[in-house]
Amino acid sequence: MPKSLSQEEVQSILRNGNFNELIGMIENEWLECKNAPYDLKDEKNRQELAKDVSAFANVEGGIILIGVETQKDPTVYGDEIRKIHAFPEPKLDKDQYYKILSDWIYPALQQLEIHWFKSNINSKEGIVAISIPNQAVSQRPFLITKILDNKGKKNEVIFGYIERKRANALSKNVQHLHGLIKDGLRFESIVNQQLGNIQGLLQQHLKGHEQEITSAVQINIEASARARIDGAISELGLQNELAYVLAAVPMDQIEIPSLFQSRKSEIVSLIENPPEIRPSGFDLNTGESVRFREGELLKTINYEYKSLELWRDGILIFAATGGTDFLCWPGKPGVKPKINQLVLIESTILFAELSKAIFLYAEPKPKKIQYKLEIRNMPGNDTSFGLIPGPLRKFPSLSGDIHPAPGSKLRSEITWEGNEINPGNLAFRILCKVYSWFGIAHDQIPYTKVVNGELIISREDIKKAGEG
């Protein structure tokens, strides 16, 4: 059963040598596991060591355990510790590790420790922990930099910037670095400006024609939402890749007046730390700090796989890769990945909860909200790709219970009107259309229960599913 331990608990286990107590723990934003010591005879593995360590140094530190085997668990984000592979202390040359990290990482790391902990079962064997403490912000970023001697040919210069995001060390490509420096990226400002001009003209020339105004404004809002969804997908580079989107679009003219009030405001906190159900769950958190864009948008984006954005007019968009980094099961060789129903359902209810919290800050409160769930660029009519009814199982079935996608694009839309948002019921209504599209009856939607006469997605059942 997956379990969560604090850094202090892990350090205590290491000191006591009770390594089997680590089994079941999930790799996360501060923990990385390696089955065996790095093979430092190879230059690429030296680079891998520097990459893993600098990734922690660029956030808030962490621990790399060496001698610990992990396996993928589809119920959580991050691999699960399954076995301990203790080894004799001389098998790892700590001095060599320190030297490589000194040569490869700039500036120098402070107070980094490499320690071999002996097992309480066999004192001649143990595991190693590389402890990277939280580094001073003034010293960041920590960069990988090395000149490789190509034996008489032109030397190769390696330069890189790595950050730890949840359970992965993610390299930032040149486009991302350019975006960080410029604090701006591809942005559909021209389209939005044109849409804004249209809205202004409608308001000016259609006074006294409330019904026509309402209809025209809603058409404009829908067009604006569509352009922004396309922009979010494009910014992640998913125009031609499997893409997953959740959106909430207020169909009234509203505003989030506190959007740019402060970086410490409650609305910013909601975007940087959206709701979650369980540690290592499939939530909306990108792990990135919020960015302010052109007085209209708050956005967090992890270019590897997902983004979350809130506009001043209340449009809320979550976009993610539809591949194995988020929506789908990891595929086996020769087998296409399939939609992980726990990811689909957990992210949908969390999006519903986030939208409810966001719209409490709207002025006026929206009376009509259109919710969208989209999956684009699916291999339609491919019987090996699709959705499995019922709850998540440890390994995806290869039998006939897979319902293949009938087309390449799914769009589920429902409208929530008037009364206070019930996230559990809202998520269920969104997912009903998704399951219907795949030809699955609504009673096959897992993690549901009846509350006050309404079917809802159950947080408790999702949490239990994640606990094994």
Instruction: Give the C-alpha separation, 145 to 160, whole Å.
Output: 7
Mean of the pLDDT values across residues 223-235?
91
pLDDT of amino acid 348? 97
Q: Helices marked H in 273-366 — which ranges?
A: 341-359
Reference 142, options 107, 166, 176; nearest CA is 107
Q: In this predicted structure, which of 55-64, 172-181, 367-376 has the lowest mean pLDDT?
A: 172-181
Bigger pLDDT: 153 vs 420: 420
Provide the domain count of the chain.
Answer: 2
pLDDT of amino acid 284? 96
In a domain, 182, yes or no: no
Q: 18-38 as b/e, with b when 16 or more CB fall inside 10 Å?
A: ebebbebbbbbbbbbbbeebb
Q: Residue 267 sits in which domain range?
A: 232-466
111 and 252 share one domain = no
Largest Cα separation within the chain, whole Å, is: 86
pLDDT surpassing 70 at residue 377: yes
Instruction: Give the C-alpha separation, 75 to 391, whole Å.
Output: 11
In a domain, 178, yes or no: no
Residue type, 173: N
Written as six digits, the tokens of 386 are 């699709």
Q: What is the CATH number of the domain that holds 41?
A: 3.30.950
Domain end point (choices 172, 187, 218): 172
Is residue 332 within 8 Å of 269, Cβ to Cβ? no
Q: In this predicted structure, which of 149-158, 256-265, 392-401 has the lowest mean pLDDT?
A: 149-158
Mean of the pLDDT values across residues 416-422?
89
Confidence bin at 37 (pLDDT 50/70/90) = very high
Q: Dihedrals φ, ψ of 357, to 5°?
A: -65, -40
In a domain, 205, yes or no: no
In a domain, 177, yes or no: no
Bigger pLDDT: 36 vs 331: 36
pLDDT surpassing 80 at residue 163: no
107: cis peptide before it, omega within 30°? yes
pLDDT surpassing 60 at residue 328: yes
pTM for the model stands at 0.71
